[in-house]
Amino acid sequence: MQTISSTNFTFPNQLDVYHGKVRDVYFFDTKIAVIATDRISAFDHILPKPIPYKGQVLNLIATHFLQATKDICPNWLQQTPHPNVCIGIKCEPVRIEMVVRGYLAGHAARTYKAGGRVLCGVTLAEGLKENDKLPEPIITPSTKAVEGHDEDISREDILKRNLVDETIYTTMEKYALKLFARGSEMALKQGLILVDTKYEFGVHNGEVYLIDEIHTPDSSRYFYAEGYAERQAKGEAQQQLSKEFVREWLMANNFQGKDGQTMPFMPDSFVNEITNRYIQLHDLVTGNKFQKTNPENLLAEIETAVLKSF
């Protein structure tokens, strides 16, 4: 089965290309072509094996939610000519990720368990258990690193260091909370809880735009709503759909991206499990059945789709 570990196209009028952890972004005069590869990352490291259909799952989920939230804020997406491809407006990225958390989970839970009660300038209440719902959603920003690790940062430090204009940042905060509320409503209709997620923004013609992906398993964590309260009352682990199980597998194999640690070997059985979980999440969060495409000529199909879009 052909997977997309990388792309190296040269399109007419192409100005530049950026290879991110998961996406390859091709820049043109006023537009970009974003190709979702099958790469998977965790702890800011790209894992050694691509995951079949992962790029398509991410791209189609992102398209679904970008189209469903256009009334909240403008976004970059203009068309999705292929399951792996999005074409959209070129924006100037704001190098801050807006992480919105509705529950004490993941990184926040690990920080809390270690004794931390302030996360990105936000004070967390005493007496919380892992996966408890927070009194209200909080924003815990992080710097968007070009290379290496993203870093937690507070609102105060962002403004003190002039990383972004206060008016733009305030708009990002407003949009992020509204998007999280919409994502939570849509998830609940599908029997899921949107636990936490991240949003990225850019500026186009002086206006703040939502960019990148939203509400995908790479950027979000979901719990199953059914049985959540009972599991929480009993102190049991929550059933979740997210990339967290990949992080947990890596941690169980002594890897958290720290210096001196070696990336563990990924058996094919685990690669297949990741594929199945991503497809399952696609169907659950969108309410649509994932349609597997012919994997034999993916790169040629992607190149044709981009060429036809310009």
State residue 150's pLDDT score. Answer: 75
State the Cα–Cα distance between residues 275 and 252, nearest whole angstrom. 20
Mean pLDDT for the stretch of residues 15-39:
96
Residues 114 and 192 in one domain: yes
Q: Taking 90 as the threshold, does the pLDDT of residue 310 lie above it?
A: no
Q: Which pLDDT score is estimated for 2?
A: 82
Mean per-residue pLDDT of the chain: 94
Banded pLDDT at 297 (limits 50, 70, 90): confident
Contacts of 256 by beta carbon, 8 Å cutoff, 6+ apart? 43, 250
Place 1 in a pLDDT band, splitting at 50, 70 and 90: low
Is residue 248 included in any domain, yes or no?
no
Q: Say whether both 116 and 218 belong to one domain.
A: yes
Provide the percentage of residues in the chain whose pLDDT is more than 70: 98
pLDDT above 70 (res 146): no
Least confident span in 82-91, 98-107, 138-147, 212-221 = 138-147
Do 237 and 108 fall within a single domain?
yes
pLDDT given for residue 149 in this prediction: 60
Residues 104, 225: one domain?
yes
CA atoms of 78 and 66, how far apart (whole Å): 10
Is 175's pLDDT higher than 60? yes
| Same domain? 25 vs 61 | yes
Question: pLDDT over 90 for what percent of the chain?
Answer: 86
Note whether 117 and 65 are same-domain residues.
no
pLDDT in tens, 176-187: 999 999 999 999
* Confidence (pLDDT) at 137: 98
Residue 83 confidence (pLDDT) above 80:
yes
Residue-number span of the structural domain to which 122 is assigned: 92-242
pLDDT classification of 145: cutoffs 50, 70, 90: low
pLDDT at 147: 57
What is the pTM for the complete model shown?
0.90
Count how many domains the chain has. 2
pLDDT at 245: 87
Band the pLDDT of 103: cuts 50, 70, 90: very high
Q: Same domain for 209 and 116? A: yes
Measure the CA–CA gap between 227 and 217, rounded to whole angstroms: 21
Residue 109 shares a structural domain with residue 30:
no
For 46-66, write each residue's pLDDT tens digit: 999 999 999 999 999 999 999
Q: CATH number, domain at 153? A: 3.30.470.20
Sheet holding 31-36, edge to edge: 16-19, 23-27, 31-36, 85-89, 77-82
20 inside domain: yes
Exposure b/e, 264-281, CB count within 10 A at least 16 = b? eebeeebbeebbebbbeb
| Structure tokens that stand for 168 in this block | 């733009």
Could you tell me if 99 and 238 lie in one domain? Answer: yes
Domain-located, residue 267: no
In a domain, 260, yes or no: no
- Asked if 205 contacts 302 with a C-beta cutoff of 8 angstroms, the reply is no
Verify that 104 and 205 share a domain, yes or no. Answer: yes
